């Protein structure tokens, strides 16, 4: 990893974990994942059309799903009311829609991590917490950091063939910034409402 990328990564960790949390993360035992090459991915990228009506939301990822009660409590403490809660029964399948700007290989890393660490009966579950349209996205972005600091962020080191060992992080929640909220709302609703082809 080059020095500029290392500095960017360190700044991201300090922002999301706080200085103390960042120092503690350096002391944690490193978790390594040996990436299993996938010849033909069963996950095909899907483009979703934007929607006219949308509401602010928070995506609780598989790593945060077991801490859902803590997340709800943090939101309640801050006076944020959850208007709706929708389960994503297979987050790995939803990755073909979510995070379109993330490289497919990174999503494959996340899928393998979900399978090894967060899977329940073969499915990595997640959910969407939906809020009233009056809820400021800026507040949700601040609470995302509070939740990440309280619930923690999991770091993994991926061994992938001849590549340099790659560090990836798995956060408990995701909140899009204000500019992406409408587009990502359409993506998460697609994941919730689409019917299985099986």
109, 59: one domain:
yes
pLDDT score of 108 more than 50: yes
Say how far apart CA 124 and CA 65 lie, in whole Å. 9
Looking at residue 2, what is its pLDDT? 76
- Mean pLDDT of the region 8-12: 92
Across 34-38, 45-49, 133-137, which has the greatest mean pLDDT? Answer: 133-137
Range of the domain at 40: 32-193
Whether 144 is in a domain gets the answer yes
In the chain, % helix, strand, coil (3-state, to 5) comes to 45, 20, 40
Whether 44 is in a domain gets the answer yes
* Residues 193/30, Cβ–Cβ less than 8 Å: no
180, 118: one domain:
yes
CA distances from 181 to 53, 54, 152, 184 (A): 11, 8, 24, 5
Say how far apart CA 117 and CA 109 lie, in whole Å. 12
Structurally, how many domains does the chain consist of?
Answer: 2
Question: pLDDT tens, 159-185?
Answer: 998 788 889 999 999 999 998 999 999
pLDDT score of 195 more than 70: no
Question: pLDDT tens, 137-163?
Answer: 999 999 999 999 999 999 999 999 878
């Amino acid at each position: 990893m080059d020095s500029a990328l290392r500095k960017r990564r360190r700044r991201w960790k300090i922002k999301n974990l706080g200085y103390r949390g960042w120092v503690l993360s350096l002391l944690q035992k490193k978790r390594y994942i040996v990436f299993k090459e996938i010849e033909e991915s069963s996950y095909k990228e899907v483009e979703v059309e934007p929607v006219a009506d949308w509401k602010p939301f928070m995506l609780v990822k598989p790593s945060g799903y077991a801490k859902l009660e803590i997340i709800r409590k943090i939101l309640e403490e801050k006076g944020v009311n959850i208007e709706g809660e929708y389960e994503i029964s297979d987050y790995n399948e939803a990755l073909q829609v979510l995070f379109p700007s993330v490289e497919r290989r990174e999503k494959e890393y996340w899928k393998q991590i979900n399978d090894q660490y967060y899977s329940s009966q073969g499915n990595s579950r997640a959910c969407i917490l939906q809020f009233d349209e009056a809820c400021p996205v800026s507040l949700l972005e601040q609470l995302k950091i509070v939740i990440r600091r309280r619930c923690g962020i999991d770091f993994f080191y991926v061994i992938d063939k001849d590549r340099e060992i790659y560090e990836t992080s798995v956060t408990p929640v995701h909140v899009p910034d204000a500019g992406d909220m409408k587009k990502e709302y359409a993506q998460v609703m697609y994941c919730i409402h689409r019917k299985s082809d099986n």
